[in-house]
Amino acid sequence: MAEEVLAPMVGKILKIKIKPGDAVQEDDEIIVMESMKLETSVHAPCSGVVKEIKVSEGDRVEEDDVLAVIE
């Protein structure tokens, strides 16, 4: 089962801490975003393997944009 990692709010991707194929645990910090003058961590919604990353560092995203897919 695949689960999408969604952007929690509008902002910029500062750092991507995962690559396709990585194993992640639920709640791991996988992406760091910046928005409204603060850094926001994006956490893995579930445990699994990173199937796809849909953004790059520096990208601008809207709330609920799909950032990555975990399987």
Partner 1 sequence: MAPEWKDLTEKFERERERLRAGGGADLQAKEHAKGKLTARERIDLLFDPGTFEELDLFAKHIGRDYGLDKRELPADGVIIGYGEVNGRGCMVYAEDFTVVAGTFGERHGRKICKIIDMARKYGYPVVGINDSGGARVTEQMGALSQYGQLFYRHVAASGVVPQIALIMGPVAGGQAYSPALMDFIFMVDKTSSMFIAGPPLVEAVVYEKTDEQSLGGPKVHGKITGVSDGTMADDRQCLEQTRRLLSYLPLNNKDLPPYEVPEDSPDRDTSELEEIIPTDQKKLYNMRRVIDVVFDRGSFFELKKEFAQNLIIGFARLNGHVVGVVANNPMKYNGSLDYNAADKGSRFIRFCDAFNIPLINLQDVPGFLIGTRSEHNGIIRHGAKMLYAYAEATVPKITCVVRKAYAGGYLAMCSKDLGADVVFALPTAEICLMGPQGAVNILFRKEIASAQDPEKVRSEREAEFMERYVNPTYAAGLQHVDDIILPGELRRKLIRALEMTLEKDEEAPDRKHGISPV
- Does residue 36 belong to the site contacting partner 1 (CB under 8 A)? yes
Which residue stretch of 16-24, 30-38, 44-52 sits at the interface with partner 1 (rule: CB under 8 A)? 30-38
- Does residue 66 belong to the site contacting partner 1 (CB under 8 A)? no
- Does residue 40 belong to the site contacting partner 1 (CB under 8 A)? yes
Q: Rounded to whole angstroms, how far apart are CA atoms 34 and 26? A: 21
CB-CB contact of 61 with 5 (8 Å): no
Nearest to 14 by CA among 40, 48, 45: 40
Shortest spacing between CB 2 and partner 1, in angstroms: 23
Dihedral sign (CA 67, 34, 28, 43): negative
Q: Which of 6, 9, 46, 66 binds partner 1 (CB under 8 A)?
A: 9
